[in-house]
Structure 1
Amino acid sequence: MNGTIGIACLGVTHPHASGRVRKMLRTPGVEVIGAADEADVIEPFTRLLGIPRKSVDELLGDPAVSAVLIHSKSKDMTPLAIRAMRAGKAVLVEKPGGATVDDLEELTDVAEELGAVCQVGFTYRFSPAVTAASSILSSGVLGDVLQVRAHAGCSLDEAASSHINLSDDMGGAFWVIGSHIVDLVLAQFGVPTSVNARVSKLPGDARAQYREDAAIAILNYPDRAVSIDFFSWDSMPWVESWVIEAHGTGGSLYTKPLPVGYDLFLAEATGPHAKGWTRWAESSFPEPWAANTTEYSPELAEIANTEFFDIECDSFLRAVRGEGSVVVTPRDAYNAAHLIETVYRSSAADGIEVAI
């Protein structure tokens, strides 16, 4: 595709909407043609970002619109994405991409049937630390990676927000936020054969509004032991506690998505990597992950640190132009949703092993 890429935003209620739209507004060769939503926040969103307010039908029927960004409630993500793909538009849909695993299965089927450009917004895939970790893992310097532990949390009481507790969603904080860490584990280590899990609602009134408090999952692979643990009351401001540990026969790797960095230990020097510890950090986190609430995001703060969104949107635009492939596909999002749904089923059955 040559020339200007016309972008439309379908749904603006998700707190990530402004981060991606602002990125598109400052990108040469891109025009944001309009935004649509039936929610009241569409008025301040379009007014303060300086873009036209239009209807979904207007935007999907406009030949100048090449691609759409979808930031609706979860239950509307898949229907809007399918409408857009059938209208010939490329799609970047906010994660998790739908409300249930059935939604993601339908999204995957339609995207693959049409051969459409459809990317799901798992932004942590675009962390430079994750990119570096993938390179280290694929190089084989860790030897046989026999154990993996991934930890993530939900901070700033977001687990009590309406955004996390939508009645149509198949889960709470582990589904909406924990899907990030699940996606990262699956991207690096593949889909397991089965899962044993517990999702807990713990005693105490402080978290009464949380749909779920914690999740622990054992992912069963034939050649390694993998676990994911998640909690909904992270006291750190954003995602500083998140880490993916990979322990191999030749060393260990600790990946920290944000603030961006990794710690690598090798028993022996291997290729360009020195023996002992190598510690790398891209930044000292000078800009926080989120900023403040706004007229159009009154419950949750909008994104301030848009580094991952910038990389993600550039990747999406390359795919729209036919200059690259989609990094996070609907199939990837389905795999994450299927695993999380299996976690819930295992927990409901007292943690028994459930096949994927």
Structure 2
Amino acid sequence: MKPIAVGLLGITHPHASARVRALREIEGVEVVAAADDDPRLNYFTAKYDMEARDIDGVLQDDRIDAVMVHSKSKDMVSHALRALDAGKSVVVEKPGGGTVDDLLQLAKAEIQAAPGLVVQVGYNVRLAQSVTRAKELIDDGTIGNVVSVSARGAALAGEHLTAHLNQPADMGGALWIIGCHMIDTLVSMFGVPETVNARVRKSAKLSDESSREDSAAALLNYPDMSAAFSFDSHDRLEWFESSRISVYGTTGMIEIGILPQKLRVYVERERAGWPAGWTEWTQSYFTPPFARTEENKFSELPELENISNFRTEMRGWVNSIRTGAPVVAPVLDALAVARIIDASYRSEKERGASVQVVQGVILEADLAS
């Protein structure tokens, strides 16, 4: 089992400490150093028992095999490119950058990276057991042909005011930074839609101009089905507690819960071992909340209580580095998410008009630019 040493570029994203804790549960993995120009770097490195360094001190360390990027969105891609140039695999916190162009640049860098280097984007809701099991059932035809999908996502009330959701260089606010989780989950389950019709709204009754969008509704149009996604940034429940996906098929349906992880399956008659009617699985009715304390709920350095999906995500990253296994959250999927959300913003400017989503791989023109 190949030993792996990991460093961090950026520590001010809320998921940094969660990934450090998840990595340290994996045999043969060390997290040894972090770099950031934020004054809280020494607090972070002391608390999580690693060295505080500058960026060159991380990238020039031949012992470090891989780097986690948890910087501001606008700096994510530049940090990732430097890490790849230094011969280190990377995981880049979602959404992977601030704009579609950032994700294009990251995708191009992945294609051009040295053999054996792994590039992963920090989407892990797609790795929840409820989601992956539902995808298996859909792919196996347990509920017949999918007719339509309804999905819900949200940001916690008050989060819309944070600097994290209002970074000037980002192409959007809550929909881009938080709504991307559920859009990515839909991409992982159903692929990339052909077009998007969306309304992304700002309401004077809900917030002033110090924050960005308050709510959104997007219709993702596939050749044989549609997925309706609703989102708001004023949810009173814990993160992901109200997030859900319902999938309607010709012979049954599936309801997916994220926190707690939950799966409800309905089939008209016994099929593939599933009895007729409803079958329900719930991970726990007392799942730990996402954030650990009320005080750190909107801190840039919170300790997250529930790191179950981070464990799956980090095991996938390490396995890809060690064995060459497929990446569990590919850059091309993150690029698709960016294009879908960008199409939603453009659709809003045209009062909900249909906007095409660029499909699949990077275009030759993108590689040449």
Q: Does TM, scored on the shorter chain, surpass 0.5?
A: yes
- 2:61 match: secondary structure: coil
TM-superposed CA distance for 1:77, in Å, is 0.6
Quote how far apart the aligned CAs of 1:291 are: 0.7
Q: Deviations over 1:195-233 (max 9, x none)?
A: 111000013155654310001111112211221110110
Q: Is the 8 A contact 2:23 2:315 kept in 1?
A: no
- 2:102 corresponding residue in structure 1: 103
TM-score, length of structure 1 as denominator length: 0.96
1:299 to partner: Cα distance: 5.0
- 2:136 paired with 1:135: yes
Q: Is the 8 A contact 2:260 2:287 kept in 1?
A: no
Matched with 1:72 is: 71
> Contact conserved, 2:201 with 2:214, CA < 8 A, in 1?
yes
Aligned-residue sequence identity (percent) comes to 38
Superposition CA RMSD, Å: 1.7
Q: Could you tell me whether the CA contact under 8 Å between 2:246 and 2:255 is conserved in 1?
A: yes
8 A Cα contact 1:158 1:300, kept in partner: no
Cα distance per residue 1:250-276 (max 9 Å; x no partner): 011111122101111111111111100
CA contact (8 A) 1:23 1:310 kept: yes
| Alignment map for 1:176-325 (pairs within 5 Å) | 176-204=177-205, 206=207, 209-292=210-293, 298=299, 301-325=302-326
Q: Does the C-alpha gap of structure 1 residues 143 and 124 become closer, same or farther in structure 2, counting only changes over 3 Å?
A: same
Whether the 8 Å CA contact 1:124–1:257 is kept in 2: the answer is yes
Instruction: Could you tell me which runs of 5 or more consecutive residues in structure 1 were left unpaired when the two chains were aligned.
Output: none
Find the residue that maps to 1:338 and give its secondary structure.
helix
In the TM superposition, residue 128 of structure 1 has moved relative to its aligned partner by 0.8
The 1-side partners of 2:136 and 2:345 are apart by 32
Give the partner amino acid of 1:245. S
Is the counterpart of residue 7 in structure 1 residue 6 in structure 2? yes
Given that residues 260 and 281 in structure 1 are in contact (C-alpha distance below 8 angstroms), is that contact kept between their aligned partners in structure 2?
yes
- 1:159 to partner: Cα distance: 1.5
Counterpart residue type for residue 232 of structure 1: S
Q: CA contact under 8 A between 1:77 and 1:98: conserved in structure 2?
A: yes
TM-score by length of 2: 0.92
Query: How much has 1:90 moved relative to structure 2?
Result: 0.6
Q: Which residue of 1 aligns with 2:55?
A: 56
- The amino acid of 1:117's aligned partner reads V
Deviations 1:69-119 (A, max 9, x none): 110000011111111111110101110010000000110011012253011
Distance 1:181 1:111, change over 3 A: same
CA distance in 1 between partners of 2:295 and 2:196 (Å): 40
Asked if 1 retains the 8 angstrom alpha-carbon contact of 2:154 and 2:233, the reply is yes
3-state secondary structure, aligned to 1:163: helix
| Within-5 A mapping of 1:308-347 | 308-347=309-348
